[in-house]
Structure 1
Amino acid sequence: MESQNLLPENDQDLLLAKKLDSLLQMGEGISSVQDPLIQSLLSYRNLEHSNIDSLEAESSEIWDRVLSETQSPKRAKVTPLKTQRNNTWVWATAATVLIASFLGIFWFTNLDSTVLIAQSGNNIETISLADGSEVSLRPHTSLYQIELSETKRAYEINGEAFFIVAKDVNKPFSVSSEHGIITVLGTQFNVSTWGNETNVFLEEGSIRVDDLNQNSLILKPGEKATIANNLLSDATDADAEEYKDWLNNMIVLKGTPISQVIIEIEHHYQANIDISAMDNEFELISGTIPLDELSITLRDLGIILGGTFRQINLDSFTFIPLN
């Protein structure tokens, strides 16, 4: 529904403000206005004026007592307290009511509904969504709920996760990243957002992948697609083991560039790894590396690369070739 930025003509606060303005223009009082708020304000004003009048009368008596106690022959001139009896504060109150009404409408129609619903720490976390879907979050991954309604199930991910989506043809299920959107009806797929790109692998069912330039493609089971530099790649065949390996706390390498392996390990452990001493960081490597502990992961990777990783500080490491 489109939000309205103007109050309707029959709004009670607006009508009240118009009536007050009309009385002000004619120089008349507002005591005739039969409105609970105005009557309450008038009662409060009368009470305050009564208190001030009482204070004016009491001020002379107080001064007389002071003079009597000090036996002073001189008496200072007492200027009775006065108050400016106008209706400015009444208009300010009415204006406040109108402003509050407008801000309330504006605020509640412009709230950001994105909510963080799950965040993994150093271990894999598996959660169940309200519709029965299941999501496994790789370490250091955040999952946000964008919208959950009668017609839509929308989420956003930062990190990597494997989704098993409960089928519901009336409620499309979508997962967004900073690079694009994956839309499904019921399926199993993996999506990762690390390394300045979004990678999607489909294991079962059917999904549509859209980039931010409105390019899209349909993936079939066993296919993958990548969105990098705002460009959506073609669908290509992929090995499920390479995309689901982290669910078993390992990395399966099958002709994988070293630079890509480093990025994946950095994300998994939230570490910084320097491989600038390598001759060719784009060299393809194969093997299996456990992800149980960072020191073991780097030890095994060092064996594959022909070197070792030296720890610089708590979360930083650098590669040292043995040759």
Structure 2
Amino acid sequence: MDTKISDEAIDWFSRLGSGRASSEDHQRFEAWRRQSPIHAKAYADVEKFWASLDGPALRVYQQKNPAVSSKTTGSVAVRRVTRERWLFGGLALAAAWLAVFYLPGMLRFWSSDYSTQWGEKREIVLADHSLMMLNTHTAVSIDFSSERRKVSLTEGEAYFEVARDLSRPFIVETAYGVVQVTGTMFNVYAQEKRMTVTVSEGRVRVSPTGGAQGHTVELTAGQQVAGDGNGIGRIIETDARQSSAWREGLLVFTMRPLAEVVDELNRYFPGRIIIADPRIGQRIVSGAFDLTRPQEVLEAIEKTLDLTSLTLADNLILLYYPALQFAAQ
């Protein structure tokens, strides 16, 4: 469907639901809707989609507004979210998205030594001749001295080919774990609530950050470990090539839940994809996708899982079951 028509449908939904629409507004809306079946369907899709958001809207609203009791009825929360999101149209929604999802992370990027934007990759040769490749939306700070070589990965993902130097260990620090090596190849992915280390060659030592509980583990090629607020987890065998496939411009999933896949895709989109219906979050996705065309990845997933997406304010994409499936389930 034409994005322009979808945007117009959203604008009309916002205006008519504001309580300030005049009789002339209603007449112009009816004239707009009668232009074609596509116009009518665009507006119907917005209405049906919004009706399906009762539960999800309540959860999102409570996450962003802790003072709202969990006993608050969904209809009350939806009305409040409706006023906040739709009353002022796409511009207000875009501003809210910017404040919640974008600005906090940018503070970390502004203070970093090296960073990448959405969809960008960057290769850097460090002062010790080690190679560091940054994946999309990644920020790092460098602190090299005569005793150690330290990289702070504040957000995102980086692959390292470390120049061997027994007198100066190479350290990668994240919020949930510290990686120490003298010379090897490995990948570190720092997410909001965990970090993952995957070794391609050599050995690395992974320990909790600061005073976190847990134990130190040693990984060899083809092994992976994750760390979070509870410490360092167990070692698992993995395909290191898949974990670092992003270096070749590929995103590879093997039997991964859709919720995890969407989290990954959000790193490559300049906006944000939201799963509006929690029923689809556990649908399984497998495949290898071209990272240079993230929109085509989303379209392939929609087609495979029989889903529909709705784009709001340009960079906010809502993923859900088509309206007919809502009615049938």
Work out whether residues 273 and 317 of structure 2, in 8 Å CA contact, stay in contact via their aligned partners in 1.
Answer: yes
1:256 aligns with 2:256: yes
Structure 1 moving runs of 4+ over 3 Å: none
1:273 aligns with 2:269: no
Listed as ranges, the gaps of 5+ residues in structure 1 are 1-114
Q: Of the candidates 81, 100, 116, which is equivalent to residue 120 of structure 1?
A: 116
Q: Which residue of 1 aligns with 2:299?
A: 299
Structure 1 residue 231: deviation in Å? 2.4
SS at match of 1:279: helix
Work out whether residues 194 and 263 of structure 1, in 8 Å CA contact, stay in contact via their aligned partners in 2.
Answer: no
Work out whether residues 138 and 268 of structure 1, in 8 Å CA contact, stay in contact via their aligned partners in 2.
Answer: no
Q: Of the candidates 107, 112, 128, which is equivalent to residue 131 of structure 1?
A: 128
Q: Of the candidates 149, 166, 172, which is equivalent to residue 163 of structure 2?
A: 166
Check 1:303–1:229 CA distance in 2 against 1; reply closer, same or farther (3 A cut).
farther
State how far apart, in whole Å, the 2-side matches of 1:308 and 1:280 are. 11
Work out whether residues 176 and 195 of structure 2, in 8 Å CA contact, stay in contact via their aligned partners in 1.
Answer: yes
Work out whether residues 261 and 285 of structure 2, in 8 Å CA contact, stay in contact via their aligned partners in 1.
Answer: no
Q: Which residue of 2 aligns with 1:32?
A: none
Q: Which residue of 1 aligns with 2:227?
A: 227
Work out whether residues 276 and 320 of structure 2, in 8 Å CA contact, stay in contact via their aligned partners in 1.
Answer: no
State how far apart, in whole Å, the 2-side matches of 1:221 and 1:309 are. 40
What TM-score comes out, normalization by structure 2 length? 0.60
SS at match of 1:116: coil
SS at match of 2:244: helix
Residue identity opposite 1:118 in structure 2: Y
Check 1:172–1:136 CA distance in 2 against 1; reply closer, same or farther (3 A cut).
same
Work out whether residues 200 and 241 of structure 2, in 8 Å CA contact, stay in contact via their aligned partners in 1.
Answer: no
1:156 aligns with 2:152: yes
Structure 1 residue 230: deviation in Å? 3.0
Q: Which residue of 2 aligns with 1:112?
A: none
Work out whether residues 225 and 234 of structure 1, in 8 Å CA contact, stay in contact via their aligned partners in 2.
Answer: yes
Deviates more, 1:264-273 or 1:244-253: 264-273
Structure 1 residue 236: deviation in Å? 0.5
User: C-alpha offsets along residues 70-115 of structure 1, whole Å, 9 cap, x if unaligned?
Assistant: xxxxxxxxxxxxxxxxxxxxxxxxxxxxxxxxxxxxxxxxxxxxx7
Structure 1 residue 297: deviation in Å? 2.2
Work out whether residues 289 and 300 of structure 1, in 8 Å CA contact, stay in contact via their aligned partners in 2.
Answer: no
The correspondence of residues 1-323 of structure 1 with structure 2, limited to 5 A, is 116-121=112-117, 122-145=119-142, 147-157=143-153, 158-212=155-209, 213=212, 215-322=215-322, 323=325
State how far apart, in whole Å, the 2-side matches of 1:285 and 1:124 are. 25
Work out the number of aligned pairs and report it.
209
SS at match of 1:296: helix
Check 1:270–1:181 CA distance in 2 against 1; reply closer, same or farther (3 A cut).
farther
What TM-score comes out, normalization by structure 1 length? 0.61
SS at match of 2:279: coil
Check 1:271–1:228 CA distance in 2 against 1; reply closer, same or farther (3 A cut).
farther
User: C-alpha offsets along residues 181-213 of structure 1, whole Å, 9 cap, x if unaligned?
Assistant: 111110110111124210110010100111132
State how far apart, in whole Å, the 2-side matches of 1:131 and 1:196 are. 31
User: Identity over aligned residues, as a percent?
Assistant: 24
State how far apart, in whole Å, the 2-side matches of 1:270 and 1:211 are. 32
Residue identity opposite 1:262 in structure 2: V
Structure 1 residue 246: deviation in Å? 1.1
Work out whether residues 308 and 319 of structure 1, in 8 Å CA contact, stay in contact via their aligned partners in 2.
Answer: yes
